[in-house]
Structure 1
Amino acid sequence: MKQHRLVAFFIFCMMVSLSYGQSSWVRINQLGYLPKDIKVAVLISTEEITPDLSFRGNRGQPPVLPTTQHGTPDFSLVDAKNGKVVYSGQGKIADAAYWGLKSAFRLDFSSVQAEGDYYIEAAGVKSPQFKIGADIYEGSVDFMLNYMRRQRCGHNNFLGTVCHQHDGFIVEHPTRTGEHIDVRGGWHDADDKLQYVTTTASAIYHMMLAYYQAKDKTIFQDNYRADASPGSNGIPDILDEIRWGLDWLSRMNPAPKEMYNQIADDRDHVGYGLPQNDNVDYGWGPGKGRPVYFITGEPQDLPNPRNGEIRLNRTTGVASSAGKFASCFALGAELFKNIDPAFAQVLSNKAEPAYDFALEYPGNTQTVCVVSPYFYEEDNYVDDIELAAATFYTLTKEPKWLAAGDYWGQLEPVNPLWAFGFARHYQFYPFVNQGHHLMAKSDDAVTSKKFTDFMRQGLQTIRNRAGNEPFMNGVPYVWCANFAIIGAASYAHQYKEVSGDSSFQEMEAALRDWILGCNPWGFSFIGGFPEGAASSRTDETRLGGLVDGPINEGWHDTFLGVPKVSRSKDPLAAFQNGPAVFHQDSYGTNEPVIDGTCYMIYYLSIMEQLGRKQSNKPNNTVKDAYGATVRINTDKKVIHLIFSADSAFEGATTILKTLDKNKAKVSFFLTGN
């Protein structure tokens, strides 16, 4: 891993030097493109690109490529292996001023479908090398699961640690405050060690939806056991991770109408560190137990131990959390009914009571903060009830659930975040309404059309806001905007699937590409993915985690404890003059979180299957826990032999004679020893 970190360091240093000395860049999806993808790179510049000079101010270098008479630069797609131009096109002018730049162009090369390695030349600059191939998404879902395994609370074999074995002690309960309850397990929400039903349930549901809807379930590998140790257990790793989350969610709802929403609070924010070293004292001794917040359906608070100040949240009911419990339990029961019938029955028994509880006390449940102003301010809840009803309908086809999903879904046709263009932290969560998608797939034609129209309205709102923005990104830059961005990309794909309307395909591609490097900063926002790319996180413990992403600068400047970087010293200063800023040293923009990661898992599961459909190669490659191919082309009667050796090579003479006798070709792997 040291070599990996060293490579990442050099990549970052190279980007820093380029940021200071360069004034034009071609941004691309660093993972690459499927052969039949819409493929658009973006050329941006801090200088004007004009008809007579394709690039001004680039260290005095002459232009490489000409421009048209209208000031639109030509660009070339070059085969990286032989340097030959395989496609030439004309850039489309975009609104550079949106990002405080002088020039911006969208470079469309969608017509090129031949697989290979390429780069783009435009206005005297080259893009990073990228690939066009049907296999670019292979293994991407399982790579993202690395982050989820890393975030496990309790027993974490991925990190080789045990933490938080005393969780927890009930607070905010009318009669049981101070009692111990066993709520071990689940995942730490982010770089801190807090745990929330809000984000955990949404993460679980998106992983479950990925598996449930996948037509090709062979994309989900089995390289880890249920305890996250390397090895196969006959169950896809994504189901192992889902089971880990559902176990915890079930503990947080031990009885009907008894639900807990949160473990620990922001008193935890005393610096970064490994979870096993968490020694915060909540009143039961250092590291001896954390508060577990009972869902009351009413505003909650705990006094700040430092000054006695009370930060009251705006809770109005239980439905936003109870609805999430219900939808997760319902779909979880379906997924595990054949794998673990007893566990599935436990989930099934809890699903409808959770839904009934949501109806009994409609309203939102917000999380609690004590010493800082940061909490999940979820204000909407009808989407959570709709998702639960839509999930029940999807699984049972019962008319009562169709009617319930229809009623609650009509109360919020478009997510308010998309409609208003702004939100407080997680105010209109979970950013994208999967209930609309399920209702749009209804067998009832009237219902299907209604919810398909709702989906179109939401997507059109985003597209209208993007206007002629170079990256075609109209998602508001609120805290954790990246999660909304990949959610919107999923929504666009789902809309095309249910409607046949391809109006938003280019926007879907742009939103996906944004996450993977086609953004002003040129970063992939997934830790260590793709390998060797300019990723915003390269530390090995956060591999596979999707980070919060760029945020409105005014909002970012209010964050507590974030070092302020002057523009003159900011290596990314050229890209910080638009509607959002991004900083690698800020938890407000570069912190990976479990729910966004699982939104990405859902979308990547779609793309991985799409790639296989576009491939003419057999899809039966099997890899081990370390990524090595151990089985390939199982449709052919061919065996590939390898011999490996370290400090000794016992039996070499016998092996070589036997191979010669049988005219067998093999591979040898030897170390430096």
Structure 2
Amino acid sequence: MLMKLKLILLLITGLGMMLQGRCQSDIYLRVNQLGYLPQDHKEALLFSHSAVREPVLLIRSADNRPVLELKPEREKAENWGTFPFYYTLNFSAFTASGEYFLRTKKSGHRSSSFQIGAAAYGRHQETLLTFMRQQRCGYNPTLDMVCHEKDGRSFYGSLPDSTYVDLSGGWHDAGDQLKYLITGSYATAHMLMTFELYPEKFADEYNALGQPKSNGIPDILDEAKWGLDWIHKMHAAPDMLFHQVADDRDHRGFKIPNKDNSDYGWGENSYRAAYLATGEPQGLGEFKSQATGLANLAGRSAAAMALASRIWQSHLGDAVYAAKCRRAAISLYKLGREHEGYQQGNSYGAPYRYNEDTWADDMEWGAAELYALTGEKAYLEQAKAYALQSSNADSWTTKDTAAHYQRYPFINLGHFALHRHVDEEFKSILEGFYKAGIDYTRRRAERNPFHIGVPFIWCSNNLLTSLIAQMILYEKMSGDQQYQQFLARQRDWLFGRNPWGTSMFTGLPEGGEVPEDIHTSVYVLLGLDVPGGLVDGPIYRSIHDNLLGLTLNDPDEFAHLQNDHVVYQDDVGDYSTNEPTMDGTAGALLMMAHFGMEAEQSPIPELADGPGPFAPASSNRSNRISDKSEQQVDFLPGER
């Protein structure tokens, strides 16, 4: 009997120790691994299977010394399952610069290290450009190779099918090697607007080919010009606009770009289909896209060209290229006016495509930028009309869900572009559009412990960076600072304040928990870890578990952290959550420039006679041309 009692006591003691150990090991601390600016709202999140009653210490890494004791504040928002206890740790009042980490006072659980200071975000806007250079088609400086020189052969429209057109260049869209004007036009225009807002944040360390050699032009403009030159090719004539090169016949496994095994009827690694926008449904295979016009593509391509014309004239003193972009902007916008409606992406053998079905927002943006460029009142009146037509009907921010890329771009930058040109009453209308979207997402955010306001549809990280940009621009427009805490929470999610404790950018921060097994060929086949790429991000489990062809290559390292609500997996087999995208990365540039440091040295001195802060690198540049030489600029076919 005594032996039985001892055995029972041992079992009880062992079980107690196991439960205590489980409780301790089930405490997770989540922080922004990149860090916090001194005046930021600074919050970490703690979650556990059981109640946490111990304080948490803020520890200075340099000497392992506690500098602040924090009391966990219980989150009352509905949890996502798995973990029933969530706590906020607020250390906003602490502003001393340095490297720190959080540690529970008794059990010793610690967070990742992070920075506090003005340099927390460094110059990582430049890091994002590193990823953009990796996505280049044509000459790829990351791989030092030339690919897809035979893009492409036309389908649909006025040209006979299979007519050769030179559409080389541009960017590969994501881990695959398709090229879309849908995403390329937005990426280009977003980069140009970001430069206009933050010219002092961008350095010159690479030349136009993306090689590590300065050329007197900020690198963000070199990258934007890669997109501009491709858009010029896509708009080969005033009545012509290509919208896509290649389709899902591309999806034949991982491949090096200059050894593309896809076959569009001319053999492997040869010509690829080039789709001419017609404003009507298209599709060479089983699945047809929907289309009602061209204005979505024409409008934002016009915005990109109008922005470029101003920048290349005022900042770079290149009147030749400025004139070329001006003519293209006018021509593209005219095409949009003549064919109002939207063109979607095309698929061939799978049901997945870019389902954009909005266009008034793009025409608003194009008209606003053209008014800024030309001063013609008709553009201003048209921009205002398109703004009212778009309102928030085109925005995902006031919706609970959307189809893949249905309401694209994920931010209406036309509202911001128009704002400076209108009277106070119309300014309030535009500010109200942004504010309504922010308020709607904030109400959604109050329903979860991470306070994240986006619906977790495909490319949720793109929605998040767009929401952050919308808050930044809203504050610039209105002066209203009430959303700074909400903004910080959205940003911090992207760098580790999330269930998985991971950054959503490859290589950021260096040495942190970051996406590693990403769904892209250069990683799988060459082992290249290119930093700066924004991955798609978590999606609803109800979407994730019904996707075709999604198979993990390795056991899920985050299996113990997953829940029934949203899923993220760092695995090359998960194309839905762990594939970095070109337009998502470009769309994060405004956010990164906003928080990042200034360039160490502006690449171009100030123009004596120009409105912009940059000028030619030297006085003998051919950019400064006479009126006579300006007349020698090439025209678009049929423009004379």
Same fold (TM over 0.5): yes
Instruction: Give the direction of change, closer, same or farther, for the CA distance of 1:384–1:443 in structure 2 (3 Å limit).
Output: closer
Instruction: Give the direction of change, closer, same or farther, for the CA distance of 1:342–1:19 in structure 2 (3 Å limit).
Output: farther
- The alignment status of 1:341 with 2:319, answered yes or no, reads yes
In the alignment, which residue of structure 1 is the partner of 2:26? Answer: 23
Q: Shift in Å at residue 403 of structure 1?
A: 2.1
- Contact preservation (8 Å) 1:147, 1:541: no
Distance 1:584 1:547 in 2: 10
Distance 1:404 1:140 in 2: 37
Instruction: Give the direction of change, closer, same or farther, for the CA distance of 1:439–1:93 in structure 2 (3 Å limit).
Output: farther
Q: Sequence identity, in percent?
A: 36
In the alignment, which residue of structure 1 is the partner of 2:183? Answer: 199
Greater Cα offset, 198-207 or 352-361: 352-361
- Contact preservation (8 Å) 1:19, 1:572: no
Distance 2:589 2:489 in 1: 18
Q: Which of 45, 48, 51 is the aligned partner of 1:49? A: 51
Q: Shift in Å at residue 599 of structure 1?
A: 1.3
Distance 1:347 1:236 in 2: 18
In the alignment, which residue of structure 1 is the partner of 2:163? Answer: 179
Deviations 1:141-177 (A, max 9, x none): 1111111111110111321111111111001124421
Q: Which of 259, 266, 272 is the aligned partner of 1:290? A: 272
- Contact preservation (8 Å) 2:255, 2:261: no
- SS of 2:565's partner is coil
In the alignment, which residue of structure 1 is the partner of 2:303? Answer: 327
5 Å matches for 1:57-206? 65=54, 74-95=55-76, 97-100=78-81, 101-122=83-104, 124=107, 125-206=109-190
Q: Shift in Å at residue 78 of structure 1?
A: 1.8
In the alignment, which residue of structure 2 is the partner of 1:428? Answer: 407
Q: Shift in Å at residue 398 of structure 1?
A: 4.3
Distance 1:521 1:20 in 2: 18
Structure 2 residue identity aligned to 1:434: L
In the alignment, which residue of structure 1 is the partner of 2:380? Answer: 402
Distance 1:502 1:110 in 2: 16
Greater Cα offset, 135-144 or 111-120: 135-144
Q: Shift in Å at residue 96 of structure 1?
A: 6.2
Distance 1:461 1:19 in 2: 39
Q: Shift in Å at residue 121 of structure 1?
A: 2.3
Instruction: Give the direction of change, closer, same or farther, for the CA distance of 1:334–1:126 in structure 2 (3 Å limit).
Output: same
Instruction: Give the direction of change, closer, same or farther, for the CA distance of 1:443–1:384 in structure 2 (3 Å limit).
Output: closer
Q: Shift in Å at residue 75 of structure 1?
A: 2.8
Structure 1 residue identity aligned to 2:289: N
Q: Shift in Å at residue 377 of structure 1?
A: 0.4
In the alignment, which residue of structure 1 is the partner of 2:461? Answer: 482
5 Å matches for 1:162-561? 162-214=146-198, 217-303=199-285, 310-337=286-313, 338-414=316-392, 415-537=394-516, 539=523, 540-561=528-549
In the alignment, which residue of structure 2 is the partner of 1:4? Answer: none
In the alignment, which residue of structure 2 is the partner of 1:573? Answer: 559
Q: Shift in Å at residue 443 of structure 1?
A: 4.7
Deviations 1:200-250 (A, max 9, x none): 111111111111111xx3421111111111111111111111111100011
- SS of 1:78's partner is strand
Greater Cα offset, 91-100 or 594-603: 91-100
Structure 2 residue identity aligned to 1:518: R
Q: Shift in Å at residue 470 of structure 1?
A: 2.0
Q: Shift in Å at residue 117 of structure 1?
A: 1.2
Instruction: Give the direction of change, closer, same or farther, for the CA distance of 1:272–1:86 in structure 2 (3 Å limit).
Output: same
- SS of 2:539's partner is coil
In the alignment, which residue of structure 1 is the partner of 2:13? Answer: none
The count of aligned residue pairs is: 566
In the alignment, which residue of structure 1 is the partner of 2:3? Answer: none
| 5+ residue gaps, structure 1 | 1-17, 55-64, 66-73, 304-309, 613-618, 624-673
Distance 1:169 1:140 in 2: 38
Q: Shift in Å at residue 510 of structure 1?
A: 0.9
Instruction: Give the direction of change, closer, same or farther, for the CA distance of 1:258–1:233 in structure 2 (3 Å limit).
Output: same
Cα RMSD after superposing both structures:
2.2
Deviations 1:342-400 (A, max 9, x none): 22211111112211211211111001101111110001111111111222234445443
- SS of 1:523's partner is coil
- The alignment status of 1:33 with 2:42, answered yes or no, reads no
TM-score (norm 1): 0.81
- Contact preservation (8 Å) 1:30, 1:533: yes
Q: Shift in Å at residue 468 of structure 1?
A: 4.3
TM-score (norm 2): 0.85
Q: Shift in Å at residue 458 of structure 1?
A: 0.6
- SS of 2:364's partner is helix
| 5+ residue gaps, structure 2 | 1-20, 518-522, 604-640
